[in-house]
Amino acid sequence: MANANFYNVELRDKSGNLRQYLTPFITKLKWEWSRIGGCGRCQISLGMAYRKIEFSAGDDIQIRLRSGSTSKLVYRGWISGTGPTLKKDQEILLDVRGYFSLLDFMVVHDSGAIKTYTGQGISAIVDDIADTFITANSSITKGTIDTSSFAADTLEFKTKVSTALRTLAELEGKVEYGVDEDLAFFWRTESDTINRKFFVGDNVEILERKFDWSKLLNKIYFEGGEVDGVKFETTAEVSESQTKYFLAEGIISNSSITTTSVADRFLASTLREKSSPILNIRAKIVNTNIRLEDTIPMGKVAVVDYDYDDLKYTWGTVANGGSGLVWGTVANGGSGKKWGGFYSSQVNSIAYSLAEGDEKFNIELTFGGSLLETSAKIKQIEQELSSLRQK
């Protein structure tokens, strides 16, 4: 466990008033940040008499790390459960959750009836939900809400706030949102910029790459609605995916679709997302002081393995540190070289644990992809065909 002078875990009441420092009793400490949700779960083990502290509903946990001559708040959550244990080595286990989870206890409604949004952009709806339901019913404040690119004809909600936000995110696509350590709700457009690179053999201690072919779909038999008493049917496929992997067929029905043009859009978006396997990557970086969530949106993160990633040539002029080559084939006036590449993606979640070095910690990154633009396009097409209602 890291030196106690490096970090502090504070127990506060639901109003934020300090009750006690838990740091001297910490035997285990882990916390998470999620691209969808912000501050996530936190696990704390306390080596103390199992009934020494009486915890209350809504108690607040804050984790601060030393940063030079000051301290920095890096996590904030509320205690959702306790597990006192009487045994030879008594302990208390705390189950802590980020404040975004409180949105599971709030409902979007209109005086108990369905809440209807007509002709509004996604960000305007998010803004209204934040004002009407989130900030009005909790200590969470409203942070930055980026302007959306999609507007829905009609959306109707009578559901949890968290579920409504998920629907809106799936409609908009390419967003990250949640509640940060300052209790500010944010809704930000994802950045495609690679803001951080980690290197195997340097700061990457463990790297796992898992491919999932179980959800592959590269040929669709589609059934739509009826036109003049005849069911609209069509077929779409991606032969390249079938050749590279295997034939993966499926049947999809949507009675709202009755024309070839709409079906083509819908099926093309579906196949664009599902005709390639899912790649999940987990990377563990030890003894670092890098907090990716210090900048929101986080942007993409790259993991580079020199043994397998072809990085021989670099884009740009020699004067600017590049290889001085010309993009393209020789026949078209280019240099005909294979350009280097490496894996980069949005980070799905970050798990933190304390390291031995002062002012450093270990992080475990999970890359699960983002709210894909193609997935959002599918949702938008469905929404154009019929209003979404959640009950």
What does the pLDDT profile of the chain (391 residues) look like in tens digits? Answer: 555 578 899 999 988 899 999 999 999 999 999 999 999 999 999 988 767 788 888 899 999 988 777 889 999 999 988 876 666 677 888 999 999 999 999 999 999 999 999 888 899 999 999 999 999 999 999 999 999 888 878 888 899 999 999 888 888 888 999 999 999 999 999 998 888 888 887 778 888 888 888 889 999 999 988 888 899 999 999 999 999 999 999 999 877 678 888 788 778 878 887 888 887 888 899 888 889 999 999 999 888 776 655 544 445 555 555 545 555 555 666 545 444 456 788 899 999 998 876 678 899 999 865 555 556 666 666 666 655 444 4
Instruction: Determine the length of the chain.
Output: 391
Give, for 274, the enclosing helix (H) or strand (E): helix 260-274
How far, in whole angstroms, is CA 51 from its chain's centroid? Answer: 37
Last residue of a domain, one of 74, 98, 122: 98
For residue 180, which of 37, 9, 67 has the smallest C-alpha distance?
37
CA angle 64, 68, 72 (to 5 degrees): 25
Do residues 315 and 207 share a domain?
yes
Residue 49 lies in a domain: yes
Do residues 58 and 86 share a domain?
yes
Do residues 208 and 311 share a domain?
yes
For the chain, the helix, strand and coil percentages under 3-state DSSP, each to the nearest 5:
20, 45, 35
Do residues 230 and 328 share a domain?
no
How many domains are there within the chain?
4
| CATH number of domain containing 174 | 3.55.50.10
Do residues 208 and 356 share a domain?
yes
Residue 386 lies in a domain: no
Instruction: Say what the pLDDT of residue 287 is.
Output: 87
Do residues 177 and 202 share a domain?
no
Range list of β-strands (E), 190-290: 194-199, 204-212, 219-227, 230-237, 249-253, 278-288
Do residues 348 and 204 share a domain?
yes
Q: Please spell the DSSP secondary structure of 12-70, one letter per residue.
A: E-TT--EEEE-GGGEEEEEEEEETEEEEEEEEEEE-S-TTSS---TT-EEEEEEEETTE
Residue 389 lies in a domain: no
* Euclidean distance between CA atoms 358 and 355, whole angstroms: 8
Instruction: Say what the pLDDT of residue 388 is.
Output: 45
According to DSSP, the β-strands at 60-67 and 7-12 are antiparallel
How far, in whole angstroms, is CA 162 from its chain's centroid? Answer: 14
Residue 382 lies in a domain: no
Residue 50 lies in a domain: yes
Do residues 90 and 126 share a domain?
no
For residue 66, what are the CA distances in angstroms to 51, 109, 277, 289?
30, 43, 42, 11
For residue 168, which of 117, 112, 113 has the smallest C-alpha distance?
117
Do residues 206 and 342 share a domain?
yes
Give, for 365, the enclosing helix (H) or strand (E): strand 361-367
Instruction: Say what the pLDDT of residue 317 is.
Output: 55
Residue 23 lies in a domain: yes
Residue 224 corresponds to which amino acid? G
Do residues 291 and 207 share a domain?
yes
Instruction: Say what the pLDDT of residue 330 is.
Output: 55
Last residue of a domain, one of 229, 246, 276: 276
Residue 170 lies in a domain: yes
SS3 115: strand
Instruction: Say what the pLDDT of residue 97 is.
Output: 95
Residue 377 lies in a domain: no
pLDDT tens-digit series, residues 106-165: 999 999 999 999 888 899 999 999 999 999 999 999 999 999 888 878 888 899 999 999
Rg for the chain, CA atoms, rounded = 25
Instruction: Say what the pLDDT of residue 328 is.
Output: 55
Last residue of a domain, one of 230, 256, 276: 276
Do residues 11 and 71 share a domain?
yes
Instruction: Say what the pLDDT of residue 316 is.
Output: 53
| CATH number of domain containing 94 | 2.40.10.10
Do residues 240 and 305 share a domain?
no
Which range marks the domain in which residue 20 is found?
7-98
